[in-house]
């Protein structure tokens, strides 16, 4: 399992040329998309009350239902969602990439308590090699101070590191509400 002290070691083992950051489940794009999904579900429900749905319509209904409530699912991990916006691209070797390395290499004491909520990963960093192939991801939940590198590798790093990482992502353009 990845621990807070090994975050930079994990990222450091990734041979990447650049990374992109994504914001998930926010702003009007998310609200409008979610509203459209809910409207389509309602249309299919009404139709299904009058006549049996065709097989394709049932499949579409099941798919749409699987999206809601999308923010509480781990869909953001390893799957595409229509509710994500690309925020920034940072090339390795730039001052912004070096700043991220400094943040992730900051030694922090282990967190005292763990959050009791389910992480909602609204911010994602996707690392790519020179051939534009994805070589790693780092998911962030600012509500409970969790990070994950996959569905099976998550860890709590504490709020001090998250403050630094949050300010960094705001600098890149992420719509975070930092206190």
Of all residues in the chain, the percent with pLDDT exceeding 90 is 25
Is residue 138 situated within a structural domain?
yes
131: confidence class by pLDDT, cuts 50, 70, 90: very high
130 and 144 housed in the same domain: yes
On the question of pLDDT at 57 being above 90, the answer is yes
Is residue 134 situated within a structural domain?
yes
Euclidean distance between CA atoms 157 and 146, whole angstroms? 6
Is residue 144 situated within a structural domain?
yes
| Mean pLDDT estimate for the chain | 78
48 and 121 housed in the same domain: no
100 and 146 housed in the same domain: yes
Residue 66 belongs to what domain range?
Answer: 28-71
85 and 155 housed in the same domain: yes
What pLDDT does 132 receive? Answer: 92
59: confidence class by pLDDT, cuts 50, 70, 90: very high
List, edge to edge, every strand of the sheet that includes 18-24. Answer: 84-91, 18-24, 123-128, 134-141, 146-150, 153-156
Range with lowest mean pLDDT among 27-41, 51-65, 81-95, 111-125: 111-125
89: confidence class by pLDDT, cuts 50, 70, 90: very high
The domain total for the chain is 2
111 and 157 housed in the same domain: yes
Single residue among 14, 48, 71 that ends a domain in this structure: 71
Name 97's Cβ contacts closer than 8 Å, sequence gap at least 6: 19, 90, 91
Is residue 57 situated within a structural domain?
yes
On the question of pLDDT at 14 being above 70, the answer is yes
Range with lowest mean pLDDT among 10-14, 76-80, 121-125, 140-144: 76-80
Higher per-residue pLDDT: 147 or 88: 88
42 and 96 housed in the same domain: no
91 and 144 housed in the same domain: yes
Is residue 178 situated within a structural domain?
no
- pTM (2 d.p.): 0.69
10 and 67 housed in the same domain: no
Would you call 85 exposed, middle or buried from its count of C-beta atoms within 10 A (0-12, 13-18, 19+)? middle
12 and 94 housed in the same domain: yes
92 and 150 housed in the same domain: yes
On the question of pLDDT at 96 being above 90, the answer is yes
Which whole number is the average pLDDT over 144-158? 73
Higher per-residue pLDDT: 155 or 142: 142
18 and 106 housed in the same domain: yes
* b (16+ CB within 10 A) / e for 125-160: bbbbeeeeeeebbbbbbbeebbbbbeeeebbbbeee
């Amino acid at each position: 399992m990845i621990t807070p002290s090994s975050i930079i070691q994990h990222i450091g083992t990734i041979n990447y040329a650049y990374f992109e950051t994504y914001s998930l489940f926010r702003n009007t794009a998310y609200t409008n998309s979610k509203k459209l999904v809910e409207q389509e579900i309602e249309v299919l429900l009404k139709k299904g009350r009058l006549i049996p749905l065709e097989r394709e319509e049932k499949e579409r209904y099941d798919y749409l239902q699987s999206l809601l409530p999308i923010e509480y699912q781990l869909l953001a991990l390893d799957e595409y969602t229509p509710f994500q916006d690309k925020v920034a691209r940072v090339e390795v070797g730039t001052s912004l990439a070096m700043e991220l390395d400094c943040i992730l290499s900051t030694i922090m004491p282990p967190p005292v308590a763990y959050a009791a909520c389910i992480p909602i990963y609204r911010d994602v960093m996707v690392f790519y090699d020179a051939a534009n192939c994805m070589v790693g991801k780092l998911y962030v939940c600012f509500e409970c101070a969790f990070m994950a590198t996959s569905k099976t590798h998550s860890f709590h790093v504490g709020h001090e590191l998250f403050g630094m990482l949050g300010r960094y992502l705001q600098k890149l353009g992420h719509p975070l509400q930092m206190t």
